[in-house]
Structure 1
Amino acid sequence: MAAACPSTAVPVWLSEDDLSCIICQGLLDWPTTLPCGHSFCLKCLNGLWVTKRAGVDGCPWACPICRKGPSAKPMLHKNPLLQDLVDKYRQAALELEAGPEPGPEPAPAPRSLCRPTPSQVTVQKSTTKVIQELTDLVGQLINIAKSLQMQRPGLESGLNNAPGIPHTDSSSEEEYSLDSPRNSVTFSATQKKIRAILHNLEEIRESLPGMHGSVPRQEAPREQVQEMASPLCLLPDQRCPVPRKASHCSLWAISPTFDLGSISCILEVSNNCRTVTVSRSLQPYPLGPERFLISQVLCSQSFSSGQKYWEVDTRNCSHWAVGVASWGMKRDQMLGRTMDSWCIEWKGPGQFSAWAMMKKTDLHLGLPEVVGVWLDLELGKLAFYSVADQEKLLYECEVSSSSPLHPAFWLYGLSPGNYLEIKQLNT
């Protein structure tokens, strides 16, 4: 934002969440501030008070966040400072989206003098460099995967009897034992290398929109590597740190249940505690410090070690977030906006994102009808998959917490009837 006096201008970085209404999750519109200090859209607050007249402790005009308020409806006034900030933020966002204004077009040069501009040359060199990096990484991945296979001569059934591979006698069983400490360290280190390279590959592929078709030769090696690595995920006595497909984690599948002590009064659960629905009226849950003030809920199950996998059906909810959080997560904060919660969030087409360490990452993907959640606390990894039709990795991040983690959910509180369902998996 430009200032009248540049010498006094102070850059202030704001995100949309800083100026958002917790009720509608959009930018504040005619913001009004309650005596407790919390601000909301005037229309959203009036609508909530009219439709949720049950109130809290006999107070129908309670603040949706701190649940405090007078017995009589307070006079609501526009907060001009907040409105000015919202207007400036919206204008700045529009200017960033539109980009710089185009200047006058220069006269076309004669054909014999036409040469690539410096920016065109930079783009061309950058694209060539990225493609070369992709090629090199695929080659590294193939070599590591092959060396991994050679380190495990007894990995696949019948491999010891294959031509060219000597049979190991009892004296060498210790050397190739899956439980051997030396081989376990080597195996774990190699897996980490494969995972790191795969992660780099995905980042490079995403940085080349529209270029996938121009380098089809890269696809075959990747499929070949996946085929070589997939038996590692299928071993019943081995962990699967980052499965190629979510279904490979069926050995770690669970069906957690919603916790009635943390659920918001805006939500209600089914008898089996695996379906949570946005209620049409406030539920008479006893108030307490563990209950969420916004439409969120944790599961009763907590995890501090090992690997877990569960699936969530999102087809009947228009706005939702699915992730994990510690039990100590603040009850007036949204999932992902704290240092002890992680999630992916769908707010409509073009509004799909992931939240980790209070940082938002836009996901340019379609709506996942069923979300698979893979939590590996041994490696400190969290991954989300779309598993309804074709299994696809949506997002992966690191997790760390000093306390156990619970499955966590958010549903849009102003859309009664919306619901999420934790699928019953065969375990």
Structure 2
Amino acid sequence: MATPVLGTSIPVWLSEEDLSCIICQGLLNWPVTLPCGHSFCHRCLNGLWATQRAGVNGRPWSCPTCREGPEAKPKLRKNLLLQDLADKYRQAALELEAGPETAPAPRSPGRPAQPPVAVQKSTTEEVIQELTELGQQLEDIVKSLQTPRPRSGCGLDNEVGILDMASSSEREHSLSSPKLVTSSASERKIREILQKLEEIQKKLKGSVTWKEAPGEQVQEMPSSSLCQLPDQGCPVPRKSSQFALWAISPTFDLGSLSCNLEVSNSCRTVTVSHCQQPYRWSPERFLISQVLCSQALSSGRRYWEVDTRNCNHWAVGVASWGMKRNQVLGRTKDSWCIEWKGPGQFSAWATEKKTDLHLGRPEVVGVWLDLELGKLAFYSVSDQERLLYECEVSVSYPLHPAFWLYGLCPGNYLEIKQVNS
């Protein structure tokens, strides 16, 4: 294979996830790289260490991803290469958002093609410039009409008529041409301006479209099938038998279990470990604090419940077995979840798209998976059943119950509950 000449630009596919901080979930800002190789925002990492008094093995400066911690606190230095990449990505994203046209992004082998991105055919700046010029022309006409001139017939009435017409047009925001009773020259100029305003109105209606980020386009489908926030009206009193016919008690899969976690003998409670566990290496094992259940769900209807009261930061959902082991639940096209990170930080993730949930913390989460309809729903079921979020899921591959726990909160745990009939 030929070696590229120095200075040659080679297109590389990058997503925001490749350059994001796992703590703030945003693009790296002043990135620092720990001895283990993981990178974070300088401010995020220092803030996290400041809140972790004991940390892991008495070292509050452990890595949030792999939890490896050196004996002495590492000196944090800016990773100039990562900062340069993040800056270039941020600049390219801004240019893509503002540009009149978008070139198709390079596609790596095996990666599905991205849907075309709709862009504005007329930018906001152009429209503002046109409106400014037309406003100046209108002002000039009004000034010319206010210039003293010999009165003849109904000349004063003409001036009053045109001023009344202008103020009425502003009040009603109408672009239709009123009956003009002024001079033919002024009438002609005003008609030309109104015609241009109509053209701008058509341009705004027909040419300007909303621009969406790649990978977040929503295809047209019946409104009942779109991922929507549920109606948060009066909660429905819980009926213990509502989902009992489809209740299961899934168990955690030891092969996918992160070394930051440990499970109970029943395999229904997963806990953040105080130290990294010496599990046997496996390509199926998650690199971050996540775990799947052994049960592969490919048909029918299933329901299970998760007690979250003893975990401060968690995510509960479903994922395919093929989900990448270094990715976070919900940030892939084959995983869906709801995620709690504290008050005001409750959200749902569906195939890389985030939806904020302005709700209180659910103590017990019920998960309803209808594979016949391709539906996934989350309920708060501690006292009363309240729908939290629902969305569509893919039924082209089996799905597994999936869980994430914050790796720097030793002793926090999630428990799969027995559903009473």
Q: TM-score range by the shorter chain?
A: 0.5 to 0.7
Counterparts in 2 of 1:377-388, with a 5 A limit? 377-388=371-382
Q: AA paired with 2:245?
A: L
Cα deviation for residue 351 of structure 1 reads 1.1
Q: How many residues align?
A: 284
Structure 2 residue 338 is the aligned partner of structure 1 residue 339? no
The CA distance in 1 between the partners of 2:390 and 2:354, in whole Å, is 13
Cα-to-partner distance string for 1:238-273 (whole Å, 9 max, x where unaligned): xxxxxx978512100011111111111111111211
SS of residue paired to 1:361? strand
After superposition, the Cα gap between the structure-2 partners of 1:285 and 1:367, relative to the gap in structure 1 and judged at 3 Å, is: same
Q: Which runs of 5+ in 1 are unaligned?
A: 1-12, 55-60, 93-112, 119-195, 207-211, 213-218, 227-243
Structure 2 residue 40 is the aligned partner of structure 1 residue 40? yes
Partner in structure 2 of residue 352 of structure 1? 346
Counterparts in 2 of 1:67-106, with a 5 A limit? 77-80=77-80, 82=82
After superposition, the Cα gap between the structure-2 partners of 1:252 and 1:77, relative to the gap in structure 1 and judged at 3 Å, is: same
The CA distance in 1 between the partners of 2:67 and 2:275, in whole Å, is 19
The CA distance in 2 between the partners of 1:332 and 1:35, in whole Å, is 18
The CA distance in 2 between the partners of 1:75 and 1:287, in whole Å, is 30
Cα deviation for residue 353 of structure 1 reads 0.9
2:288 aligns with one of 294, 298, 311 = 294
After superposition, the Cα gap between the structure-2 partners of 1:361 and 1:286, relative to the gap in structure 1 and judged at 3 Å, is: same
Cα deviation for residue 117 of structure 1 reads 8.6
Partner in structure 2 of residue 231 of structure 1? none
Counterparts in 2 of 1:228-239, with a 5 A limit? none
Cα-to-partner distance string for 1:271-311 (whole Å, 9 max, x where unaligned): 21111111111112111111110000011111111110000
Partner in structure 2 of residue 412 of structure 1? 406
Given that residues 255 and 423 in structure 1 are in contact (C-alpha distance below 8 angstroms), is that contact kept between their aligned partners in structure 2?
A: yes
Partner in structure 1 of residue 115 of structure 2? none
Q: AA paired with 1:253?
A: A
Q: AA paired with 2:31?
A: P
The CA distance in 2 between the partners of 1:294 and 1:345, in whole Å, is 15
Partner in structure 2 of residue 170 of structure 1? none
Cα-to-partner distance string for 1:105-163 (whole Å, 9 max, x where unaligned): xxxxxxxx997999xxxxxxxxxxxxxxxxxxxxxxxxxxxxxxxxxxxxxxxxxxxxx
SS of residue paired to 1:251? helix
Given that residues 24 and 414 in structure 1 are in contact (C-alpha distance below 8 angstroms), is that contact kept between their aligned partners in structure 2?
A: no
After superposition, the Cα gap between the structure-2 partners of 1:372 and 1:416, relative to the gap in structure 1 and judged at 3 Å, is: same
After superposition, the Cα gap between the structure-2 partners of 1:378 and 1:367, relative to the gap in structure 1 and judged at 3 Å, is: same
Partner in structure 2 of residue 425 of structure 1? 419
Structure 2 residue 302 is the aligned partner of structure 1 residue 308? yes
Counterparts in 2 of 1:192-231, with a 5 A limit? none
The CA distance in 2 between the partners of 1:41 and 1:419, in whole Å, is 27
The CA distance in 1 between the partners of 2:414 and 2:296, in whole Å, is 19
Cα deviation for residue 33 of structure 1 reads 3.2
After superposition, the Cα gap between the structure-2 partners of 1:279 and 1:202, relative to the gap in structure 1 and judged at 3 Å, is: closer
Q: AA paired with 1:393?
A: L
Please give the root-mean-square deviation of Cα atoms over the aligned residues, in Å: 4.9
SS of residue paired to 2:242? helix
SS of residue paired to 1:368? coil
Partner in structure 1 of residue 22 of structure 2? 22
After superposition, the Cα gap between the structure-2 partners of 1:64 and 1:411, relative to the gap in structure 1 and judged at 3 Å, is: closer
Given that residues 34 and 63 in structure 2 are in contact (C-alpha distance below 8 angstroms), is that contact kept between their aligned partners in structure 1?
A: no
Cα-to-partner distance string for 1:372-405 (whole Å, 9 max, x where unaligned): 0001111111111111122111111111154311
After superposition, the Cα gap between the structure-2 partners of 1:201 and 1:264, relative to the gap in structure 1 and judged at 3 Å, is: closer
The CA distance in 2 between the partners of 1:204 and 1:73, in whole Å, is 47
Q: AA paired with 1:378?
A: E
Given that residues 310 and 374 in structure 1 are in contact (C-alpha distance below 8 angstroms), is that contact kept between their aligned partners in structure 2?
A: yes
Q: AA paired with 1:77?
A: R
Partner in structure 2 of residue 8 of structure 1? none
The CA distance in 2 between the partners of 1:295 and 1:418, in whole Å, is 12
Q: AA paired with 2:388?
A: L
Cα deviation for residue 323 of structure 1 reads 0.3
Cα deviation for residue 426 of structure 1 reads 3.6
Cα deviation for residue 316 of structure 1 reads 1.2
Q: Which runs of 5+ in 2 are unaligned?
A: 1-13, 94-167, 175-221
The CA distance in 2 between the partners of 1:356 and 1:340, in whole Å, is 9
Structure 2 residue 409 is the aligned partner of structure 1 residue 403? no
Structure that is richer in helix per residue:
1
Partner in structure 1 of residue 385 of structure 2? 391
Structure 2 residue 277 is the aligned partner of structure 1 residue 283? yes
Counterparts in 2 of 1:77-156, with a 5 A limit? 77-80=77-80, 82=82
Q: TM-score, normalised on structure 1?
A: 0.54
SS of residue paired to 2:243? helix
Partner in structure 2 of residue 188 of structure 1? none
SS of residue paired to 1:248? coil
Given that residues 272 and 406 in structure 2 are in contact (C-alpha distance below 8 angstroms), is that contact kept between their aligned partners in structure 1?
A: yes
SS of residue paired to 1:312? strand
Partner in structure 2 of residue 327 of structure 1? 321
Structure 2 residue 254 is the aligned partner of structure 1 residue 260? yes
